[in-house]
Chains A and B, each alone.
Chain A
Amino acid sequence: MNTKRLSISMLAAAAAVAAVNTASAAPVTLTIESWRNDDLSIWRDKIIPAFEKTHPDIKVKFAPTAPAEYNAVLNSKLKAGTAGDLITCRPFDVPLRHFQSGYLLPLNDLKGLDNFTPVAKTAWTTDDGKTTFCVPIAAVMHGFMYNKDTFARLGLTPPQTVDQFFTVLDKIKAEGRQVALDMGTKDTWEASQLAYQNIAPNFYKGEQGRKALIAGKAKLTDPQFIEPLRVMAKWKPYLAEGFESQTYPDSQNMFTLGRAAVYPAGSWEIAGFNKQASFKVGVFPPPVQKAGDKCYINDHPDIGMGANAKSTHPAEVKQFLDFVASKEFAAIYANSLPGFFSLQKTQVEMSDPLAKEFVGWRGKCESTPRVTHQILSRGTPSLEDELWVKAAAVVNGTLTPEAAAQQLQKGLDSWYKPAH
């Protein structure tokens, strides 16, 4: 009886194995590696069904990792050969390293890439500009969000020049009901990304200044790079009491609770602020130096998607990437995630007013990515990481703008020797 039962269970097991085999043989399953676990439902409910409708033989699985761990986890998965078929790419040097190590496929023959501007592709193209290895998905932009009720109450208009910016802050401060400028330096990255990277392109003239720095023709100690630090050094009196201990979530809460009036922001805040703020939120671009100056905005390619070289279904992967490069994908993505803007040549129609306002700047201002991200953070010390610390110290008032610029340039000089 014992042997009989055993043989029956073995039969059942064999049948189950066979069933699994036949089931998995039919449609191909592709797995997406990503750090955007916030977007899980959008991928699962909107983007992937749209693709599967036209490609019934391909199933796609979105498998995100926590953002802070993504780089490390993806690195080890790629090394071990266990990473998913599609890799969500961070911008610039990290995926470039993966491409150079042979983990990512070159995508030059992908037709959809023609839908993107060369600037959009720089973040995922080799230094010589020849090979693109990820399809651009979205960019984030920087500006200043403000409480429209406060501005209406005090009769203020969004400032256009640096001087007007400080006049507006003075008036809010004089009224005394709200903190004028809402930023903390505890987590340090805000001082770099939301302050310096936000306002600086107007001083160093966007791409012109960024490329000069990479080419070694300009230095961080030049006036166009120090001046934004000098402006930031003047922010201190307008920040909240104890801003040195104010964290990023603190700042978000202060603004949405109406306790602060102007918030140096990234466009990714739109969805959250729409939900939480009980007042109307407005946004203005970083102020220029003199009225009538050409404006430059930080329009930073942030998310792309590439193909794992070890994938066993390269043809299906290409099909999915073609979909990612399509207008249909861009429309779904940009409208589901206001604040993550499509990088395609033709503008996507968006419904969110704040997102529209942000994207409207692309027409009148010139776009440039964050200055520290391409090439300049490849060595030790990485300029990006150094800027976090030094920019925070400048806002804190413990380091002069000049000293900070000197220290940053010295760190860069220690490993970066641009070819002349």
Chain B
Amino acid sequence: MTTSMALDSSALGEAQAVRRPVRWHIAVFLAPALLVYTAVMVLPLVETLRLSFFQGADAQQAFVGLENFRRLLGDERLAFHFWNALRNNAYFFAIHMAVMVPLAILLGALLSLPRLRGSGFYRTAIFMPTMLSFVIAAFVWRLILSPLWGITPNFLQAIGLGSWFTAYLGKEPYALTTLGFISVWKELGVPMVLMYAAMLAIPNEILEAAEIDGITGIGQFFRIKLPLLWPTVGVVAILTFVSNFNSFDLIYTSQGVSAGPNYSTDILGTLLYRTFFGAQLQFGDPHLGATIAAMMFLIILSVVCLYLFFVQRRLVRYQL
């Protein structure tokens, strides 16, 4: 009986397949994006992961299993650099979360005030740095902060804080924090626009209802607008996380390949570059470099998964 049923259903399936023509256009329309994405993203990623399980020069590559990972985490020197970079990266991300997100919400809230004059100008001005290349941003800030020719020492002197100035980018305790602020300055534009858009999307009826209930001003912001912004904050957080843990250009262009002083600004991206391509007299090690890249991929993947499964589900979305 079961066999006859199976036969029946397969016959039914065949009949349906015959009736419905193959929809080639779907494949054709998907092909360009799929091919390009596979060629420039998926294949390099797979090749990177493959490299991390091998050792040896081009011709005599040998599969070594997890040996590279064991070395990265087991070898005293490599482990020091890896954890140092990971710690710095986490700190770099923390600066963004602590400074950039509140700032983006604040600016979004200010810009969406109906009576603010010249809001278009501010919006453009604050968005400007986002459009700059990192090379230019790093160069400009190096000049601004230069103790020899920069404007910062004189500026701080003029407002009576001359003693606060020091070689911010050259001293171990300050360099990474300074770079974090520069990065926030540069990256602020997109989160600000996202927050701004989310605030504009709040219907006036809700705010009017709140006013009727006696909630106005600051209270209105904290009790009505902010809860409606949490999903956007979540998106900004995860985007910032991914971009921070892939970050490389700002540190490389302002601090050089060894992420000085004394590796205090070394993040995973610069460590990967230095290991993969080598530095002055250091020959590169593509396999160990690929191992670091694989670790970066794992870290980002696991955090994004955690976010998707545990955080995003709990964010309350209101039907507006």
* Residues of A participating in the B interface, judged by any CB pair closer than 8 Å: 72, 93-94, 97, 184-189, 240-247, 250, 254, 372-373, 377-378, 380-382, 384-385, 388-390, 392-393, 396, 398-399, 411, 414
Contact of A245 among B169, B258, B280, B282 (CB under 8 A): B169
Judge whether A187 and B277 touch: CB under 8 Å: no
Per-residue 0/1 for B33-62: is the Cβ within 8 Å of any A Cβ (1 yes, 0 no)?
A: 000000000000000000000000000000
> Is B170 in contact with A244, judged by CB distance below 8 angstroms?
yes
Q: Which one of B76, B145, B258 has the greatest number of beta carbons of chain A within 10 Å?
A: B258
B129 at the interface (CB under 8 A from A): no
CB distance from B290 to the nearest CB of A (A): 15
Shortest beta-carbon distance from B320 to chain A in Å: 50
Most B C-beta atoms less than 10 A away, residue of A384, A388, A411: A388
* A contact residues around B149 at 8 Å (CB): 250
Q: Give complex CA distance A398, B167 in Å.
A: 14
Instruction: Out of A93, A188, A250, A411, name the residue touching B281 (CB < 8 Å).
Output: A93
Count chain B residues whose beta carbon lies closer than 8 angstroms to a beta carbon of A.
30
Complex: how many Å from CA A188 to CA B166?
Answer: 18
With contact pairs A185-B170, A245-B170 given, residues A385 and B146 touching in the complex (Cβ less than 8 Å): no
Chain B residue with minimal CB distance to A93? B281
Question: B261 touching A244 by the CB < 8 A rule?
Answer: yes
Known contacts being A245-B145, A385-B281, A398-B172, is A188 close to B167, with CB within 8 Å? no
Q: Which residues of B contact A250 (CB under 8 A)?
A: 146, 148-149
A140 to B229, CA, bound (A): 62
Point out residues on B near A: beta carbons under 8 Å.
76-77, 142, 145-149, 153, 165-172, 256, 258, 260-263, 277, 279-283, 285
Q: A188-B260, A396-B261, A398-B261 are in contact. Are A245 and B285 (CB under 8 A)?
A: no
> How distant is B260 from chain A, measured CB to nearest CB, in Å?
5
Take A240-B148, A389-B260, A389-B263 as given contacts and tell me if A384 and B172 are in contact as well, using a CB distance cutoff of 8 Å: no
Contact B256 A396 (CB under 8 A): no
Would B281 and A414 count as touching, CB distance under 8 A? no
A188's partner among B142, B146, B256, B285 (CB-CB below 8 A) is: B256
Q: A389-B260, A389-B262 are in contact. Are A382 and B170 (CB under 8 A)?
A: no
Q: A240-B148, A399-B262 are in contact. Are A372 and B170 (CB under 8 A)?
A: no
- Shortest CB-to-CB span from A175 to chain B, Å, is 19
In order of increasing CB-CB distance, the 8 nearest A-B pairs are A242-B147, A244-B170, A245-B170, A245-B167, A242-B167, A244-B167, A377-B281, A382-B282
Return B30 CB to nearest CB of chain A, in Å: 35
Residue of B nearest to A79 (CB): B58
Contact of B146 among A185, A245, A396 (CB under 8 A): A245
Also in contact, A381 and B260, with CB within 8 A (given A244-B167, A250-B148)? no
Among residues of B, the one whose C-beta sits closest to the C-beta of A384 is B281
Q: How far, in angstroms, from A19 to B260 measured CA to CA in the complex?
A: 57
Q: How far is the CA of A244 from the CA of B263 in the complex (A)?
A: 14
Q: Given that A188-B260, A243-B167 are contacting pairs, would A381 and B282 also be in contact in the complex, using a CB cutoff of 8 Å?
A: yes
Q: A187 near B281 (CB under 8 angstroms)?
A: no
The answer to whether B148 touches A244 (Cβ under 8 A) is no
CB <8 Å contact, B147 and A240: yes
Tell me the complex Cα distance, A247–B153, Å.
Answer: 17
Contacts A245-B170, A399-B262 known; A380 to B282 CB distance under 8 Å? yes
B144 to chain A, nearest CB (A): 11
A242-B147, A382-B279, A385-B281 known; A411 and B261 CB under 8 Å?
A: no
A186 touches B169 (CB 8 A): yes
- The chain B residue sitting closest to A92, CB to CB, is B281
